[in-house]
Amino acid sequence: MVAASALRITPPAGPLNGQIELPGSKSITNRALLLAALSDGESHLTGALKSDDTLYMAAALRLMGVSVEEPSDTSFVVKGNGTFAAPSEPLFLGNAGTAVRFLTAAAPYVNGPVILDGNAHMQKRPIAPLIAALSSLGVTISAPTGCPPVTVQGTGHLSGGQVTIDAGLSSQYISAILMAAGRADAPTDVVLEGSSLDARGYVDLTVAAMKAFGGMVEQREEMSWHVTPSPYRATGFRIEPDASAATYLWAAAALTGGKIDVGLAPESFSQPDAKAFGMIALFPHMPAEIDGSQMQDAVPTLAVLAAFNATPVRFVGIRNLRVKECDRISAVSTELNRIRAGLAREEADDLIVNGDPSLTGQLLPARIETYSDHRIAMAFALAGLKIDGITILDPACVGKTYPGYWEALESLGVLLVSE
Ligand SMILES: O=C(O)C1=C[C@@H](OP(=O)(O)O)[C@@H](O)[C@H](O)C1
Ligand SMILES: C=C(OP(=O)(O)O)C(=O)O
C-alpha cells in the first residue's frame, strides 16, 4: 500500500479504539547507535526503530568500519572499538537531521577525509553553527553552502576545550558536540549563545543516553554543560517507544472520541513530544495560545487537531519549524487552507488555526501535498478521520520515522484506498 502515489482516507463511522505497538524512538535509536559505535565492545539495542533515519545512520556507521547487525526488526547489535575507518564513499544520510548532525561531530574520529551528504531537502537544512563550533575546536571542516554536504578532514582525535555554540536553529548541534566530546582528548565545556533553548528536552535525552553508555556529562548552568572524557562502555540498551509517533494516535482517539492504548502512559515517556498529550487531552477546548518550542515535532499534529477545536489556536515559539524536513509553518497553513480557505494563517513565525468543529462530516475534497515530510502526511491523515475527501499524496514519506503508520490506522479500522 505504501507504494501508492496517494491514499484516500474514509472517515470512520465511530470512535477509534484499540491497541497499537509504537515504533522505537528515532531520537533515542540514533543516539544509541552512535554511542554504541563509539564504545569498545558489543552493545545490544532493543526496542529500536527501523526506518529511513535509523537505517541511514546504521549504514553510515558500517561504512566507517563499525559492525552493525540486525538480528530482528527491532534490534541492533553494534560492535565498536572506539575508532572509525575512513569511509570509501560519501556518507549519504537522506533527510535525517540527527544522523547528519551527530555524525558530523563524530567525524573527527575518522583518520582521514569524510563527506557527509543528504538528499535535496537536507542540502537546505542549516549546519553552519555546528561547523563553526567544531572549527573552533581545531577540526578541519567545511560546508560551503552552510548546509550539507560537509567535508571533514579527520585526525582520529577531537581536542576538547571550551566551545560556544549558537543552537538557535537546532538543539541537535549541542547533542552532537556533547556525544562526541565524551571521547575527546580533554574535558569540554559546551556553552550556549543566547538565553533560551528550544527543544531542550532533546539535550536531556542526549545526556541520559551518554550516561547509559558510561559517559560523564553534567549540566553546570542553565546554558552550559561539562563533559569529562571517559571511554564509552558497550551495554544492553532498551529504547523507549517514539513519543512523536504517539501524538498521532492520541489525537486520533481525541478526534473520534475513542481510546487507543499505545502501551505507555504519556507521563512515562522521557521524550519532549509527550508533553503534547496535555494539549490533546483538552480538545475540543485547546487553549488560545500554545507554545510549541518544547514539543516541536508535535506541532503539525496539534495544528490539525486545532482545525476542529471550538476556538482558534495560535502556535508560538515555532520558528525552527521553518528549517525541518520542510517549512512546516508554511506547509501546515497551506494545506489547511487547501481543505478550506481561511482555516489557517501565518503571522510572522506564528501559525494561527481557526478551529471550526462544523468541519466534521463535511465533504471537502483536498489532495494534501506532503513535501516529502512524514509529519505533514501523518498529521493530515487525522483530518481525514473527520472530513470526507482527504487524500494524502506521497504516503510512503512516513517511512522516515514510522513505516508502519498506515497499517496502524488500518488496524484501528480506518479505511484507506490507494490511488
Ligand atoms: O535531537 C533530536 O533527536 C531531535 C531534535 C529536534 O530537532 P532540532 O533540535 O533541530 O529542533 C527534533 O525536531 C528532531 O526531530 C529530533
Ligand atoms: C525534525 C525531524 O527530524 P530530523 O531533524 O531528525 O531530521 C522530525 O522527525 O520531525
CB 48 within 8 A of CB 76: yes
Of the residues 186, 217, 238, the one at which a domain ends: 238
Instruction: Dihedral sign for Cα 78, 79, 80, 85, please.
Output: negative
One DSSP character per residue, 208-230 reads HHHHHTT-EEEEEETTEEEEE--
Annotated binding residue 125: yes
Q: Establish whether 117 is a catalytic residue.
A: no
Residues 408, 336, single domain; the answer is yes
Question: From CA 274, how far away is CA 392, in angstroms rounded?
Answer: 25
The residue nearest atom 10 of ligand 1, judged by CA position, is 170
Annotated binding residue 375: yes
- The set of residues, in sequence order, having a beta carbon less than 8 Å from that of 168 and lying 6+ positions away, is 129, 193, 194, 198
Answer whether 170 contacts ligand 1 (Cβ < 6 A): yes
- What are 225-284's pLDDT values in tens digits? 999 999 999 999 999 999 999 999 999 999 999 999 999 999 999 999 999 999 999 999
The residue nearest atom 12 of ligand 1, judged by CA position, is 297
Residues 131, 49, single domain; the answer is yes
pLDDT for residue 326 = 96
Residue spans of beta strands (DSSP E) within 281-375: 289-291, 313-316, 344-347, 350-353, 363-368
pLDDT for residue 130 = 98
Q: Could you tell me the three cell numbers for 315? A: 502556535
Residues 118, 220, single domain; the answer is yes
Ligand 2, from 25, 26, 169: best to mutate by most atoms within 8 Å of Cβ?
26
Residues 167, 128, single domain; the answer is yes
Within 10 A of 220 (CB to CB), how many other CB atoms are there? 11
Taking the CA of residue 400 as reference, the ligand 2 atom at the shortest distance is: 9
Average pLDDT over residues 296-316: 98
Query: Whole-number mean pLDDT of the chain?
Result: 97
Residues 220, 180, single domain; the answer is yes
Cis status of the peptide bond prior to 149, with omega within 30 of 0: yes
Of the residues 207, 238, 269, the one at which a domain ends: 238
Residues 210, 283, single domain; the answer is no
Taking the CA of residue 30 as reference, the ligand 2 atom at the shortest distance is: 6
DSSP class of residue 155? Answer: E
One DSSP character per residue, 325-366 reads SS-HHHHHHHHHHHHSTTSEEEETTEEEE---GGGTT-EEEE
Residues 224, 275, single domain; the answer is no
Q: Which residue segment(s) compose the domain that 52 sits in?
A: 26-238
- What are 209-219's pLDDT values in tens digits? 999 999 999 99
Answer whether 202 contacts ligand 1 (Cβ < 6 A): yes
Instruction: Dihedral sign for Cα 127, 133, 136, 138, please.
Output: negative
Domain holding 146: CATH number? 3.65.10.10
Average pLDDT over residues 354-365: 98
- What are 316-331's pLDDT values in tens digits? 999 999 999 999 999 9
The residue nearest atom 5 of ligand 2, judged by CA position, is 97
pLDDT at residue 195 greater than cutoff 80: no
* Distance in Å, CA 198 to ligand 1 centroid: 9
* Distance in Å, CA 341 to ligand 1 centroid: 31
Question: From CA 26, how far away is CA 172, in angstroms rounded?
Answer: 13
Q: Is residue 374 part of a domain?
A: yes
Give the relative orientation of helices 328-339 and 374-383 as an angle to the nearest 10 degrees.
30
Report helix, strand or coil for 417: strand
Average pLDDT over residues 371-380: 98
pLDDT at residue 1 greater than cutoff 60: no
Annotated binding residue 330: no
Answer whether 28 contacts ligand 1 (Cβ < 6 A): no
Of the residues 189, 215, 238, the one at which a domain ends: 238
Closest to 38 (Cα-Cα) out of 123, 107, 114: 107
Annotated binding residue 172: yes
Ligand closest to 273 (CA) is 1
pLDDT for residue 194 = 78
Annotated binding residue 171: yes
- What are 84-135's pLDDT values in tens digits? 999 999 999 999 999 999 999 999 999 999 999 999 999 999 999 999 999 9
Question: From CA 106, how far away is CA 37, in angstroms rounded?
Answer: 10
The residue nearest atom 8 of ligand 1, judged by CA position, is 170
pLDDT at residue 193 greater than cutoff 90: yes
pLDDT for residue 255 = 98
Ligand closest to 172 (CA) is 1
The residue nearest atom 11 of ligand 1, judged by CA position, is 170
pLDDT at residue 81 greater than cutoff 90: no
Q: Could you tell me the three cell numbers for 5? A: 502515489
Residues 230, 82, single domain; the answer is yes
Annotated binding residue 51: no
The residue nearest atom 3 of ligand 2, judged by CA position, is 97
Share of the chain above pLDDT 90, in %: 97
What is the CA angle 141-143-145, rounded to 5?
160
Residues 329, 370, single domain; the answer is yes
Residues 225, 328, single domain; the answer is no
Report helix, strand or coil for 190: strand
* Distance in Å, CA 150 to ligand 1 centroid: 19
Answer whether 29 contacts ligand 1 (Cβ < 6 A): no
pLDDT at residue 42 greater than cutoff 90: yes
- What are 278-303's pLDDT values in tens digits? 999 999 999 999 999 999 999 999 99
Global pTM value: 0.98
Of 273, 297, 373, 394, the active-site residue reads: 297
CB 175 within 8 A of CB 31: yes
pLDDT for residue 17 = 98
Closest to 118 (Cα-Cα) out of 204, 72, 30, 56: 56
pLDDT at residue 3 greater than cutoff 70: no
Measured in residues, the chain has a length of 419
Q: Is residue 1 part of a domain?
A: no
C-alpha torsion 59→167→156→71, nearest 10: -30
Q: Is residue 356 part of a domain?
A: yes
Average pLDDT over residues 19-31: 98
pLDDT for residue 137 = 97
Cis status of the peptide bond prior to 403, with omega within 30 of 0: no
Share of the chain above pLDDT 70, in %: 99
* The total number of structural domains that make up the chain: 2
φ, ψ (nearest 5 deg) of residue 302: -65, -35
C-alpha torsion 25→28→31→35, nearest 10: -120
Answer whether 317 contacts ligand 1 (Cβ < 6 A): no
pLDDT for residue 2 = 52
ipTM: 0.99
Residues 196, 298, single domain; the answer is no
Residues 234, 280, single domain; the answer is no
φ, ψ (nearest 5 deg) of residue 230: -160, 140
